[in-house]
Chain A
Amino acid sequence: MIEIENVSKHFVSRDTDRVVALTDVSISIRRNEFVCLVGPSGCGKSTLLRLVGGLLPVSQGRVVIDGQTVREPRAETGIVFQSPTLLPWASVLDNVLFPLKISRRLAPDSTERARSLLKLVGLDGFEDKYPRELSGGMQMRTGVCRALVHDPDILLMDEPFSSLDALTREELTLELMRIWREQPKTVLFVTHSIPESVMLGDRVVVLTARPGRIAEVVPVNVPRPREFGMEARDEFQVAAKRIRQLIFGTGRGTTH
């Protein structure tokens, strides 16, 4: 469904130096596949996400979604950012409806859909609250609902749970897997947590830094439905170990 073909991206910094973010990246992602992008800081994983989202133009190569070359943001893509970035002046419900409002696609049943999404993440009863009245985890859940409200077929997530505490993070990871099972979508999930990537992904794309390129695409053979406690399984260990080796090199593979 998503074809990333020989994509490179460089930025021109202030002193006109060219900073290479990504070099010759190619992946093919199937419909309803859950793909995680893992790599050290500065490996260009967030950049790759933005290229797929059409928020940044590619420097070379192309991103093709359903046969269409991506040149601008696509209506059927949802994005979840690192911080919830909710609108402080809007209620939870209005925050979820915001993408529909600004793209003028508010339908009569939109509110109903927003409410059922909020119910799906356990936020029923919080529709009229304001973001500052919510905990960090609830704000992030609202952000996830906002990304799903227009029923996108692609969901891009940029380290969505990294600012949450460990327990909330596990809770949201489970919720995300449940949502994905009930409403299948193609998910591209950026993280720098190796266990998180193995827990969530069908495949894990490991990127190396400077210049960002794909080291390897690691398949995860842990059966679904997944739950915490499966980390001890061999399939989990094999995938996690391989990813560690790719990021840290073989010598330090077991120390982390």
Chain B
Amino acid sequence: MEVVLPIATIALLFLLWEAACRIFSIPAYIIPSPSAIWTETSALPGVVGWHTLVTGKTVLLGFLVSLLVSLPLAVVLTSSPIVAAAIYPLLVLTQAIPKVALAPILVVVLGTSELPRVVVTFLVAFFPLVLSISAGLVSVPPELIELGRACRASRWTELWRIRLPFAVPFIFSGVKAAIALAVVGAVVAEFVNADAGLGYLIQTSTAFFKVQLAWGALLILSIMGIVLFQIVVAIERIFFPWSPGIDRPAL
């Protein structure tokens, strides 16, 4: 049921969409029907596949960088109140800068390579990760920390054997937010500077009124987001079965 129900809902939604397009004869350049999107998009499997791969690479690179930066950053941030006071405003600043506005400037600074795209993706994705990992590291019950101290654990052992494992459910909650945001970040970056990728495909195809293709790219981006999210969920369930999944909605 957990799998069948959402798929059925989505299928129904597409059927309604298709029916509405036909019954009200909506012109394809305004809202194309799902069947038209499918026909146009699947006619160019090589091109669309290539753009998907390019975007996927940017998303994964940006996400990996944000994970690699966030973990040590959260550890440093939670290690002392003084460090936190010094660094935290800086983090907020990086979030206050509108990424869409920053992207063209980054291109000037870093060149028209893939680098500025990965940087923008990273900047969009890393903040919720830092916040949730930090929240996890400081939410360890004080008695567990005392237990570690009573066993004469070093700060490193305490971090590695108590704080980090305890933060796992929080880390995954951040990772889920970050992977979804990474897709957004990559597309934003591609709008500004790219010669490939689904964001680039949407821009060029709308410019030539190939609306169906733009919608196709949009749908692929959504699917990419869902698949990446589900991969994270699966990793959590397989490797950390004890994790309560703190962000699963309780009904």
A-side residues, CB < 8 A to B, are 50, 53-55, 72-73, 75, 77, 79, 81-83, 85, 87-89, 98-99, 101-103, 130, 132
* B152 engages A103 (CB within 8 Å): yes
- Option from B153, B166, B242, B243 in Cβ contact (under 8 Å) with A102: B153
Alpha-carbon distance A98/B152, docked complex (angstroms): 12
Tell me whether A99 and B151 are in contact in the complex, defined as CB-CB below 8 angstroms, given that A55-B146, A88-B242, A89-B242 are known contacts: yes
Residues of chain A within 8 A (CB-CB) of B148 are 102
* A55 engages B150 (CB within 8 Å): yes
Interface presence of B222 (CB below 8 A): no
- Option from B143, B242, B243 in Cβ contact (under 8 Å) with A83: B143
Alpha-carbon distance A26/B185, docked complex (angstroms): 64
- Closest approach, in angstroms, between the C-beta of B86 and any C-beta of chain A? 20
Residues of chain B within 8 A (CB-CB) of A73 are 149-152
* B143 engages A102 (CB within 8 Å): no
Alpha-carbon distance A57/B165, docked complex (angstroms): 29
* A89 engages B143 (CB within 8 Å): no
* A87 engages B144 (CB within 8 Å): yes
Residues of chain A within 8 A (CB-CB) of B162 are 87, 102
Alpha-carbon distance A190/B138, docked complex (angstroms): 27
Interface presence of B50 (CB below 8 A): no
Interface residues of A, dominant DSSP? loop
* A81 engages B143 (CB within 8 Å): yes
Tell me whether A89 and B161 are in contact in the complex, defined as CB-CB below 8 angstroms, given that A81-B146, A81-B147, A132-B242 are known contacts: no
Residues of chain A within 8 A (CB-CB) of B150 are 53-55, 73, 77, 79, 99
Interface presence of B209 (CB below 8 A): no
Complex A-B: 6 CB contacts under 8 Å: A54-B150, A55-B150, A79-B150, A88-B166, A89-B165, A98-B147
Interface presence of B139 (CB below 8 A): no
Tell me whether A72 and B152 are in contact in the complex, defined as CB-CB below 8 angstroms, given that A85-B141, A89-B168, A102-B161 are known contacts: yes
Closest residue of A by beta carbon distance from B141: A85
Residues of chain B within 8 A (CB-CB) of A130 are 242
Across chains A and B, which 4 residue pairs bring their CB atoms closest together, nearest first? A81-B143, A85-B143, A99-B151, A73-B150
Alpha-carbon distance A55/B150, docked complex (angstroms): 7
1/0 per position for B212-237, CB-CB distance to A under 8 A? Answer: 00000000000000000000000000
* A75 engages B141 (CB within 8 Å): no
- Option from A88, A89, A99 in Cβ contact (under 8 Å) with B147: A99
Interface presence of B240 (CB below 8 A): yes
- Closest approach, in angstroms, between the C-beta of A219 and any C-beta of chain B? 30
- Closest approach, in angstroms, between the C-beta of B34 and any C-beta of chain A? 44
Alpha-carbon distance A237/B148, docked complex (angstroms): 40
Residues of chain B within 8 A (CB-CB) of A89 are 165, 168, 240, 242-243
Closest residue of A by beta carbon distance from B161: A102
Interface presence of B157 (CB below 8 A): yes
Of the candidates B141, B148, B151, B161, the one having the most CB atoms from chain A within 10 angstroms of its own CB is: B151
* B242 engages A55 (CB within 8 Å): no
Alpha-carbon distance A81/B147, docked complex (angstroms): 9
Residues of chain B within 8 A (CB-CB) of A79 are 146-147, 150
Residues of chain B within 8 A (CB-CB) of A55 are 146, 149-150
* A103 engages B153 (CB within 8 Å): yes
Interface residues of B in 184-230 (CB under 8 A from A): none
